[in-house]
Amino acid sequence: MRPMDAIQRALSTVSRKRGPVHVLPGSQGGDVTVDVRRLEADLRRAVRGEVRFDDGTRALYASDASNYRQVPIGVVIPRTLEDVIQTVRVYRDHGAPLLSRGGGTSLCGQTCNVAVVIDWMKYLHRVLEVDPGTRTARVQPGAVLDDLREQAERYHLTFGPDPATHSHCTLGGMIGNNSCGSHAQMSGPVAHNVLELDVLTYDGLRLKVGPTSEEEL
C-alpha cells in the first residue's frame, strides 16, 4: 500500500469516529470520551493562534519521518506562550491528550498520535539570545538547530549535538528526544547541554528547572 493510501484510509476511519465525540482508550483502562466539536470551539475562543481541525490538516500531521501513521484529533499552532498556557488549560478541561511537535523529523513516530498536536515551529521559533560571555543561548521550542548554530558561529561557538536533520529539527524536539549526532562523543547528548527549562505540565503547573542548590529546594 502506498503511504498516501494508508493516510487516507486512516483518515476516513478517524473521520467516521469524529462526529460529536471521539472515544480514546484510557491509560487506566476504560475509554476517555472527548467532545471534539466543543473542544474545537473552546480552543478557538481561548487561542489567538491557529486552530485547525479540518481533514486536510489532520492528514498532514498524521506522519513524521517514520513509517508510523496516526491521524490527530486536531492541531493548534500557538502564536505566544500565553496561547500555549490556554491551549493546555482547554485540553485539561476536556481530558484530551496533547502532543508537542517540532520539525517532524523523528524516526520512531514520536510526533504522531491520536491527540491534539501543538505545532511550535511556525511562530515560536526564535533564538532569543546568544551570550558569548557565558557561552549560553536562550531559544524558543520551535527554533531550528541550524539557526542557533548560525548565530553562535558569529562568536566562534556552536551547539555540540548535531543529528543528521540539523537543518530542520527543532531544539524542543531535540530536548524531547535527547538527540546526539556525530559529535556527541565530544559534546555529549542534548541532556548534557541544557542548563534551564521553562516547563508547563498538563495540570497547569509552570516552573523553571535547572541546577538547584539545597537552599533553593
Question: Is this prediction's pTM over 0.85?
Answer: no
Q: What is the pLDDT of residues 31-66, one digit of tens each?
A: 668 899 999 999 999 999 999 999 999 999 999 999
What's the mean per-residue pLDDT of the chain? Answer: 88
Dump pLDDT digits (tens) for 102-129: 999 999 999 999 999 999 999 999 999 9
What integer pLDDT is reported at residue 55 of this predicted model? 95
**Tell me, what's the pLDDT at 16?**
43
Q: What parts of the chain have a pLDDT lower than 50?
A: 7, 11-18
Distances (CA, A) of 103 to 42, 71, 125, 143: 27, 17, 11, 9
Contact 116, 107 (CB under 8 A): no
Domains annotated on the chain, with CATH: 3-119 (3.30.43.10), 127-209 (3.30.465.10)
